[in-house]
């Protein structure tokens, strides 16, 4: 089950379409949906989580806590709407497209994709773009 929560009064648009799209993406990666929680928060809230749990003192758009068991995708995904707004402006894309990218990015991490090396980042970006195009169509 995919759930959405907000710590900053953010309201996600097209929740059911996004839920269906994420279910399809997870299925296409030969996984099944477990318990997935998207929690929308501010930069400051996510920075606090980043420092407390990951010992990273910087802003980020998403932190994913992976609870996957076998091929069942489960986790808590914390997203900074502040960072998503800034990144959308920086990349000259809409907020809606950037939030879709971040939503699938977290799922791809749980599935097992990484983005530490240049090759991993290239594959991650290709997967994101594939699923963003799937969402748009």
* 81-54-114-90 Cα dihedral, nearest 10 degrees: 30
pLDDT above 90 coverage of the chain, percent: 97
Strand (E) or helix (H) holding 3: strand 2-6
Q: With bands split at pLDDT 50, 70 and 90, how would you rate the model's confidence at 6?
A: very high
| Per-residue model confidence as pLDDT tens digits over 62-79 | 999 999 999 999 999 999
pLDDT of residue 48: 97
Q: Answer yes or no: is 57 a known binding residue.
A: no
Please calculate the CA angle 57-66-113 and round it to the nearest 5 degrees.
90
Q: Answer yes or no: is 56 a known binding residue.
A: no
Q: Answer yes or no: is 76 a known binding residue.
A: no
Separation of alpha carbons 9 and 22, rounded Å:
23
Enter the CATH code of domain 2-136: 3.40.390.30
Question: What's the whole-model pTM score?
Answer: 0.95
**Contact (CB, 8 A) for 106 and 62:** yes
Domain definitions of the chain by residue range: 2-136
pLDDT of residue 64: 97
37 strand-pairing partners: 3, 76
Backbone angles phi, psi at 124, to 5 degrees: -60, -45
Average pLDDT, the chain: 97
């Amino acid at each position: 089950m995919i759930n959405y929560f907000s710590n900053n009064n953010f309201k996600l648009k097209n929740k059911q379409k996004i839920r269906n799209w994420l279910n399809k993406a997870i299925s296409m990666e030969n996984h099944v949906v477990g318990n997935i929680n998207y929690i929308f928060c501010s930069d400051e809230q996510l920075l606090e989580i980043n420092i407390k749990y990951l010992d990273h003192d910087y802003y980020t758009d998403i932190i994913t806590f992976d609870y996957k068991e076998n091929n069942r995708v489960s986790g808590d995904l914390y997203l900074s709407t502040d960072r998503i707004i800034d990144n959308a402006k920086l990349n000259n894309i809409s907020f809606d497209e950037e939030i879709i990218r971040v939503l699938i990015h977290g799922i791809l991490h749980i599935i097992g994709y990484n983005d530490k090396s240049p090759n991993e980042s290239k594959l991650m970006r290709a997967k994101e773009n594939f699923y963003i195009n799937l969402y748009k169509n």
